[in-house]
Amino acid sequence: DAEITQSPRHKITETGRQVTLACHQTWNHNNMFWYRQDLGHGLRLIHYSYGVQDTNKGEVSDGYSVSRSNTEDLPLTLESAASSQTSVYFCASSENLAGGGTDTQYFGPGTRLTVL
């Protein structure tokens, strides 16, 4: 079955360190998204991509970057981790509407990141 996986599931790091969170989907979806979930805020969009070599900033992109070198993966990098980036991070993917996709997003299991 197609799926979307994230790794690691839990990560503790120190302020100032670079951290990369992996996201891998086997749906062959063009669209991929990164959200962070914080109490009282729901999920907020960090970055998104519509295809290989395409990346776009979301509402809370400061301090984060992504790259899309293939269809399956969209790693999220925290350039210099800060305590304010302690959160749960969710990756999601959806089909390309032009290809008849339904626009439904499928979510990974999440990565809980703690920055000390």
Partner 1 sequence: AQSVSQHNHHVILSEAASLELGCNYSYGGTVNLFWYVQYPGQHLQLLLKYFSGDPLVKGIKGFEAEFIKSKFSFNLRKPSVQWSDTAEYFCAVNARTGRRALTFGSGTRLQVQP
Choose one: 13-21, 40-48, 68-76, 78-86; the region binding partner 1 (CB under 8 A).
40-48
Binding of partner 1 by 21 (CB under 8 A):
no
Least distance CB 78 / partner 1 (angstroms) = 20
Cα atoms in the Cβ-side hemisphere of radius 13 Å centred on 59: 7
- Relative to beta strand 54-57, strand 42-51 is antiparallel
First to last CA, the chain: 37
Choose one: 11-19, 61-69, 76-84, 96-104; the region binding partner 1 (CB under 8 A).
96-104
User: Which residue number, 61 or 67, has a Cβ lying nearer to partner 1?
Assistant: 61
- CA dist 116 and 107 (Å) reads 27
